[in-house]
Amino acid sequence: MPLARRKVRVLCVTMMLNVFICVLVGVSWSLGRDRSGRHKVRIPFKRFWRKQEQSRTFWNREQQRLDFLHNPVISGGESLAKLPDWLNDTGPLDPCEPDYRVPTQVSDYSKLPQRFQDFLLHMRCRTYPMLINQPHVCDEKPFLLLAVKSLIPHFDRRQAIRETWGRAGVVANRTVVTVFLLGSTLPLDHFPDLLGMLGHEAELHKDLLQWDYRDTFYNLTLKEVLFLEWFSQSCPQARFVLKGDDDVFVNTLRIIELLEGLSDSRAKDLFIGDVISDAGPHRNQKLKYFVPESVFVGRYPPYAGGGGYLYSGEVALRLHNASRQVVLYPIDDVYTGMCLKKLGLAPERHSGFRTFDIEEKFRDKPCVYRSLLLVHSRGPQDMLAIWPWVVQPELDCQ
């Protein structure tokens, strides 16, 4: 067992570190006495901690405020330190009012793309009413909840998922529940009115969750936060969650197999996917992932690509908690990485998650899909073609 070996190694390293620290303490103890053996008391004559400096960028500054408010040392008890003025400027009382501090506080606000301005004006609001809910969808206490990010017009993608990897019910003797996560469309975005059809779909399949916010790329973080909120209230007993896009193919059988093989302690902190490390913001306005320098500086924590990742229900509940302490960031998977970091967790890489697809020459090889967990991107017709390859017992893949 490589895990056991790793444990032994960690133990050895810890013991050696302990010995090393003992030696260090011993040496410094003897150094800290004068000739007669008395203690020399050293009093630092300068401040030895760094003063919190006001960040120049909008997101970082908002995060400094949240960190301050949630710091139990500073803000606990009655001795509540008075906030420095720059941290006490919280904007409108109602966080769902547009935040008109933004145009004055973001230096290049007027030059930013409209979609980023929209994000900034509304990023403090996290509560939106639910338009379609399925409060009883988890009554059966699912082993695996499949939460699929979709958009209203994607009827065909959702149907293909229902007919293939997202078929709810009992799969491999485990209860699987599927929900699709949707926002709204606004008349100003010139969408045709699909609400009648959506209502019909919800009635027919009882697997849609819809919230009343504008479903755009920078609002995907909102989708994440609202989902975690819903999960804590309506599905907290699900053992595992797979959250993914509606253009990924998931090998549900392999996922269940992997989950069944986990020890309890591994299962508890589980968060796996296609991990991206040492990334940072894109500064080109034309890119989908653009984030300006006036809003965020810094590197991203390791995060799992938003095409799809797998985590335990327990981690979902903790993420929901942590998300209150992290300012909404316009890139949803990076945001989830930030929340994980708050929890002291890091996403784990698994080579079965292929959010950047597999080599072209393997894409039509049935047996390849047997060993994959998730692959991006596949359309509805691909899904219907691939699924039988995964479930057919007669396909010989030796």
Ligand X SMILES: *[C@@H]1O[C@H](CO)[C@@H](O)[C@H](O)[C@H]1NC(C)=O
Instruction: List residues near ligand X by CB under 6 A.
Output: 82-83, 88, 115, 118-119, 122, 173, 213-214, 216, 218-219, 317-318, 321
> Least distance in Å: CB of 339 to ligand X?
12
DSSP string, 320-333: HHHHTTS---SSHH
> Least distance in Å: CB of 72 to ligand X?
10
> Least distance in Å: CB of 177 to ligand X?
15
> Least distance in Å: CB of 175 to ligand X?
8
Which residue's CB is nearer to ligand X, number 220 or number 386?
Answer: 220
First to last CA, the chain: 25
SS3 of 248, please?
Answer: strand
Which residue's CB is nearer to ligand X, number 331 or number 373?
Answer: 331
> Least distance in Å: CB of 321 to ligand X?
4
Half-sphere exposure of 278 (CA within 13 A, CB side): 0
Cα separation of 201 and 150, whole Å? Answer: 13
Cα separation of 285 and 297, whole Å? Answer: 16
What is the identity of the amino acid at 113? P
> Least distance in Å: CB of 134 to ligand X?
22
Which residue's CB is nearer to ligand X, number 166 or number 183?
Answer: 183
Which residue's CB is nearer to ligand X, number 38 or number 51?
Answer: 51
Evaluate whether 308 touches 273 at the Cβ level (below 8 Å). Answer: yes
> Least distance in Å: CB of 43 to ligand X?
31
Show the beta-strand stretches assigned E in the chain. Answer: 130-132, 144-149, 169-171, 174-184, 208-214, 240-245, 248-250, 271-276, 303-312, 348-349, 353-354, 374-376
Name the β-bridge partners of 146.
178, 242
**Token code pair at residue 29:** 């103890």
Q: Which residues 6+ apart lie within 8 Å of 108 measured at CB?
A: 292, 294
Which residue's CB is nearer to ligand X, number 118 or number 348?
Answer: 118
